[in-house]
Chain A
């Protein structure tokens, strides 16, 4: 119930009114307010890794030539028009001093940026990049990045950092204010980038386009989603990329967050009717049988992150991480040899499917199908058919997670499939075991080619393949309409006899 409420709440929040990339407009670099100077038309990003230096909405425009400024229209600096898009460059706005990159040779040095409102000491100014605080003046903070580029923040108050402090991108430096040498200016951030240009030396470089890109990144809506279930049965939820609503988002699943952490992906591609209206399309759910590699009786911290289809950045889902403690279980059934093509065809992975248990005592069955032939049942929506060794074997739709099958993506079974004899139900999930370096899939409904005692060597031919005798037996059994019950009876009889034989001396 909890996860449903969280999911519903999150969907509501995701669609609450907020700033969006669609709202944001900006004039091109170098396009200054007429009469305020000649701008530099420059499409270069002098600081491509910049994080926008103010939290929330912001408005880059002149303090002098906009409403309430000395050369602007009459009115108040807090006028709504000053807090509106489009943004406008004022890097080369008319000033008197050396600015070698400005067409006039002089200019304003940086970009003036208003925060979301005219209120001072409210809006957070944050580190635009990882770096070191190299100077704090009476109204300035200088942040220097590893490459020596300096980012200057002017007119702040409530400065939260000290000289020498190393800060990470996004850390609060202070609040946007109007401090200016013992007096005041309008409430805004004056933002400079001072960089060493080989042909010039250290100069103020145009910050405008880097700020535009950084702001657009701030406004972009990353993928989002919720982990609704994470236990020893399955991991499920949904993930959605608002900017690519038709994309199916991959979810990165990581256990234990160590350098050697197991990482896998699951695709949020499944239809779920409750998502249709709120997300605009239905196929954004994911569901997977819980990773068997974690079934070792110890606790594992499992994180799920949506992968942005645009830039592959990871965004942790709500309700992540989860802690899973799953007890190991005893492998059962015949083990069926798995070749590399089968691993790919069945989308198997050691993270999801490999049980860390010894299965060497299990009998060897038929080689597992190297291709996956799965079909929807045309008359029963709750069942799938898997073609295996010339038979069709049933699998409940609810168990399709365990085989990495998306039921909605399956074709309906043809008459040719439906005319195949019906075999034992297909295993409810893929259980991969490794015996002597070779992968196998466990199948309680498969017919063993031969039984193996725990101490017997692996029955393989000289080249590591099954012996010819076993292959023959496999074919013979595989052509039988319903061989498993007979085999099970036989196996039970053999095992029962063996147990009785073993137990007899013990009881004596």
Chain B
């Protein structure tokens, strides 16, 4: 985690779409690799992963959810992780799809979006790569762009992504990885359609 913090704080923020005059700095980076030429593909082979379900639901966190969110839990095809902060839990709106769930919550100027999916597209020509960061003990990609910080990792067969967006671009919670990682480490498992198996 410290490594990620170090990376997060050492990399300078670049505004993606800044107007003329915005303070942007460019960093030295690795020499660019040769562009990767990929043959056109007509179909997208999809893989449906089978998630691993835990039997230890965090009941206190589940109780903080709204009735509507709790009722939606049973429809999630993947284990539902939620942020642990009570305010965010109470504000959480849970949505589900055939292969995914998503949680959105706002607290003041912060918007938290958490998403987990079991459907993956398998492109053999895209080599395996792991993020340089670590989230919940797993390799993770960490990005910060357009004022949104996000991390993505794979846990128990499910691809999760956590995004933070701040109304105030100077809000420290949306700069660097520190706050994002704090939230990620405290994510709680609250159920899903396989939780009773």
Residue of A nearest to B96 (CB): A132
Chain B nearest Cβ from A500, distance in angstroms: 75
Asked if A44 meets B153 with Cβ closer than 8 Å, knowing A163-B104, A181-B168, the reply is no
Chain A min CB distance to B172 (Å)? 13
Contact present for A181 and B102 (CB under 8 Å): no
- Which of A46, A146, A190 touches B146 (beta carbons < 8 Å)? A190
Q: Contacts of B167 on A, CB cut-off 8 Å?
A: 138, 181-182
Interface mask (A418-462 → B, CB under 8 Å = 1, otherwise 0): 000000000000000000000000000000000000000000000
Contact (A150, B115) CB under 8 Å given A44-B40, A98-B143, A201-B154? yes
Q: Which of A87-137 touch B at CB < 8 Å?
A: 94-101, 103-106, 108-110, 112, 131-137
Size band of the interface chain B makes with A: 35 or more
CB atoms of B168 and A148 under 8 A apart: no
Interface size class of A (residues with CB under 8 A): 35 or more
List residues of B (81-123) whose CB comes within 8 Å of A's CBs: 93, 95, 97-100, 102, 104, 106, 109, 111, 113, 115, 117-123
Does chain B have a CB within 8 A of A196? yes
Interface residues of A in 155-200 (CB under 8 A from B): 155, 163-164, 180-186, 188, 190, 194-200
| Interface pairs (28), CB distance under 8 Å | A38-B33, A44-B38, A44-B40, A46-B121, A63-B18, A72-B20, A94-B26, A94-B29, A95-B14, A96-B13, A98-B141, A98-B142, A103-B32, A103-B35, A133-B95, A137-B113, A138-B111, A140-B165, A142-B115, A144-B97, A145-B97, A147-B46, A147-B97, A182-B168, A183-B169, A186-B19, A197-B120, A203-B152
Q: Are B113 and A48 closer than 8 Å at their CB atoms?
A: no
A233: chain B residues within 8 A (beta carbon): none
A190 touches B168 (CB 8 A): no
A201 to B150, CA, bound (A): 13
The docked-state distance in angstroms from the alpha carbon of A147 to that of B47 is 11
Most chain-B Cβ atoms within 10 A of its Cβ — which of A95, A99, A140, A197? A95
- Which chain A residues numbered 198 to 250 have a C-beta less than 8 Å away from chain B? 198-204
The distance in angstroms between the C-alpha atoms of A63 and B19, with both chains bound, is 7
Q: Does B159 contact A (CB under 8 A)?
A: yes
Of the stretches B55-63, B127-135, B188-196, the one at the interface is: B127-135
Which chain A residues in 41-77 approach chain B with CB under 8 Å?
A: 41-46, 48, 63-64, 68-72, 77
Q: A30 at the A/B interface (Cβ < 8 Å)?
A: yes
Taken together as a complex, chains A and B put the C-alpha atoms of A45 and B38 apart, in Å, by: 11
Write out the residue numbers on chain A whose beta carbons fall within 8 Å of the beta carbon of B174. 181
CB distance from A163 to the nearest CB of B (A): 5
In the assembled complex, which residues on chain A have CB atoms less than 8 Å from the CB atom of B131?
98, 100, 201
Using A134-B102, A144-B102, A203-B141 as known contacts, say yes or no to A70 and B146 having CB atoms under 8 A apart: no
Given contacts A38-B33, A199-B128, 5 further A-B contacts (CB under 8 A): A70-B18, A70-B19, A97-B11, A138-B109, A182-B167
Choose among A45, A148, A190, A202 the residue that contacts B16 (Cβ–Cβ < 8 A).
A190
Closest B residue by C-beta to A107: B145
Residue of B nearest to A155 (CB): B17
Q: Are A135 and B111 in contact (CB under 8 A)?
A: yes
**In the complex, are the beta carbons of A98 and B169 less than 8 A apart?**
no
Is B197 close to A, CB under 8 A? no
Closest to B160 in A: A202
A154 in contact (CB, < 8 A): yes
Return the contact of A43 from the options B18, B20, B40, B159 (Cβ within 8 A): B40
CA distance A282 to B13 in the complex (A): 62
